[in-house]
Structure 1
Amino acid sequence: MFRIKDIVPNTLKSLGINKQYNAQSVIVHWPEIAGDEIATHAWPISIKHGVLLLAVNNPVWSHHLMMLKPGIINKINMFLHEKLVADIRFQAGDLKKYQNHEEDEQSSLSIRPAKLDSEELTGVWEATEPIKDINLRKKCYYVLIKQTGIDKAKKKAGWQSCKRCSVLVQPGQNYCSVCSLEYKQEKKQAIIQLLTEAPWLSYQEASQIVPCSPREFHTGKKRLIHKLVHALFEPGWDRLNEATLVMLMTGIKPDRIDATIVNTVISKIKVRLAEKIRRKNYVSAFRR
């Protein structure tokens, strides 16, 4: 006799959606994987190309989790029985907005399943046809009846399918919790990519290309500026990067920028960085 937990992964793998399912499993089972203490301070946002993005509620825990990174990666992959995660990156954030799935589950529990007609019951029974073991098929049949009844009740209450997947979401929502997080991350990346290619754009101009709020725009711009500033002294830095950084910080368009402006702004940035490093070293030496 086969067990449901053995059948589901194989079915998902045959459908080509095993990795997506496992990525969602990490989010749903995060406290079980990482432990309640870590889950209190960090929550998974997404897994893409083997990289897990974690929201962390304070810098101290970001540093602490950096030290625990190998062990966390190992726990995730052991839980999934698959080497899905190869690295972890950390992002400061409010964990509550990344834990909406719990609210969705609670609202789902408050909905009573609707009764199914004979045609719907027949459809559910036919859907279990690939399961050869009759006892297991009956168990799956009753589980599917309940879930189908809940979905039917949700639709009557005005729930609609997520714009990205088939999961039903409450009236007024466009995306399920998982897709909503993915959409926000994609928007952030789109803003950063746009500003990388056209760093002089204002919010009004950029929002016409990538619809976003002022806060989303300025957050993306700030991240890109910080990235370029920190790369100032790294190998491979060139004049194009300098011009990009200057246009980001000043809003000057390409046809109005010249070497003098670039050199002036970059020199000021380097002076400020040197002062900051000097103050930091002084404070560290004083504390000793």
Structure 2
Amino acid sequence: MFRVKDVLSGTLKSMGITKQYNAQSVIVHWQEIAGDEIASHAWPISIQRGVLLLAVNNPVWSHHLMMLKPVIIEKINKFLNEKLVYDIRFQAGNLQKYQNQEEDEENSTKLRPAKLTSDELAAVWQQTEAIQDDSLRKKCYYVLIKQTALTKAKQNDGWQSCKRCNILVPPGQGLCTVCSMEFKKEKTEAITKLLTEAPWLTYQEMLQYVPCNAREFHTAKKRLVHKLIHSLFDPGWDKLNEATLVMLMTGIKPARINQTLVDTVIGKIKMRLAEKVRRKSHVSAPRR
């Protein structure tokens, strides 16, 4: 006779559900992994393609946990004895919605598991053939039935595979949550890279290279402008950075830009920064 924990790993692997099992283990044992303090402010939602999606109850803790990301990832992977999580994404959320361990996936998706045919049940039972322990086989069988029934219900309700990772998503949603965040990040990076190389581009010109909406374009442009302004007094700042910043702010193309214009715009920016520092210093100065 073998103990359950001795055969479970190999059994789950043979059934192809190791990652799903480990992902659920992180959610079930989150308080043990992360500690009481973190668990009172953040709770795991899902793990997909190595990315842990974490619900956080306020922006302060989102920033705090961002700094602790490497530590949390190390704790999770050490607990599982497997490199399952490579990154963590944060989103605002109501923790009570996720902390109820009795909440099943079908409740959260508003779907009721579909009824399986005898052939489907037989196929599920066949998947557990490698499990020698009868008690463990039955438990895994019931877990797989639940998973298969929910998958069938989603398919019957019109759910389709995510265009990137094949996870089922609701009708009209093309990408799952994690893939959607990855896609937005990649798009932002592409816009930023192109604006860095051609800072004079307008939104309409950008559409020829990167499909995006106006908000995505202007948000990326604004962040790049702020980044360059914050680097204005760095030792590595040069004339090329100045010209890039001016073209981003004015949209003037390289053929029309000149040093006088650059000096004027950069001079105004420096004056505003200096005025901002003076005001801040005046406000924070102690009264006598």
Range class of TM-score, shorter chain: 0.7 to 0.9
Select which of 33, 38, 50 maps to 1:35: 38
Q: Aligned to 1:35, what secondary structure does the other structure show?
A: helix
How far did residue 210 of structure 1 move? Answer: 1.9
Q: After superposition, what is the alpha-carbon deviation per residue over 1:7-41, rounded to whole angstroms, capped at 9, x for unaligned?
A: 289849xx9x97x998x77996897436354339x
Alignment match, 1:117: 117
How far 1:283 moved relative to its partner? 1.4
Q: 1:281 to 1:233 in 2, by over 3 A?
A: same
Kept in 2, the 8 Å contact 1:46–1:53? The answer is no
- 1:151 Cα offset (Å): 0.8
- Separation of aligned partners in 2, 1:279 and 1:114: 65
Report the structure number with the largest CA radius of gyration: 2
Structure 2 length as normaliser, TM-score?
0.73
Structure 1 counterpart of 2:136: 136
Query: Normalization by structure 1: what TM-score?
Result: 0.73
Residue in structure 2 matching 1:74, options 59, 71, 74: 71
Equivalent in the alignment of 1:7: 9
Residue identity in the other structure for 2:168: L
Q: Structure 1 counterpart of 2:221, which letter?
A: K
Question: What is the match of residue 251 of structure 1?
Answer: 251
Using the TM superposition, name which of 26-35 and 237-246 deviates more: 26-35
For structure 1, which segment, 238-247 or 112-121, has the greater mean C-alpha deviation from structure 2 after superposition?
Answer: 112-121
Q: Contact 1:162/1:168 (CA < 8 Å) preserved in 2?
A: yes
- Conserved? CA contact 1:30–1:44, under 8 Å: no
2:41 touches 2:56 (CA, 8 Å); kept in 1?
A: no
Q: Decide which structure has greater helix share.
A: 1
Write the distance in 1 (CA, Å) between the matches of 2:250 and 2:45.
35
Question: What CA RMSD, in Å, does the superposition of the two structures yield over aligned residues?
Answer: 4.6
1:38-117 equivalent positions in 2, closer than 5 A:
38-39=41-42, 58=59, 65=64, 69-70=67-68, 73-81=70-78, 95-96=92-93, 105=105, 108=108, 110-117=110-117
Which stretches in structure 2 are left out of the alignment for 5+ residues? none
Once the two structures are superposed, residues 172-192 of structure 1 have per-residue CA deviations (whole angstroms, 9 ceiling, x without a partner) of: 211222222222222222221
Alignment of 1:119-198 (within 5 A): 119-198=119-198
Q: d(CA) in 1 for partners of 2:11 and 2:76?
A: 13
Using the aligned pairs only, state the percent identity: 55
- Structure 2 SS opposite 1:209: coil
- The alpha-carbon distance between structure 1 residues 260 and 165, as it changes in their structure 2 partners (threshold 3 A), is same
Could you list the runs of 5+ residues in structure 1 that have no partner in the other structure? none
Aligned length in residues: 273
Question: Are the counterparts in 1 of residues 42 and 55 from structure 2 also a CA contact under 8 Å?
Answer: no
Alignment-derived partner of residue 220 in structure 1: 220
Deviation of the 1:221 alpha carbon: 0.9
Shift of the 191–101 alpha-carbon distance from structure 1 to 2, 3 Å rule, reads farther
Q: 1:209 to 1:29 in 2, by over 3 A?
A: farther
1:147 Cα deviation from its structure 2 partner:
0.9
Contact 1:46 1:181 (C-alpha < 8 Å) held by counterparts: no
State the shift of 1:73 in Å: 4.4
Residues 116-137 of structure 1, C-alpha deviation per residue, up to 9 Å, x if partnerless?
Answer: 2343233323333444544323
Corresponding residue for 1:200? 200
Measure how far apart 1:249 and its partner are: 0.6
**C-alpha contact (below 8 Å) 1:158/1:170 kept by paired residues:** yes
Q: Distance in 1 between matches of 2:98 and 2:210?
A: 27
- Shifted more, 30-39 versus 206-215: the winner is 30-39
The residue identity in structure 2 corresponding to 1:39 is A
Structure 1 counterpart of 2:233: 233
CA deviation after TM superposition for structure 1 residue 143, in Å? 1.0
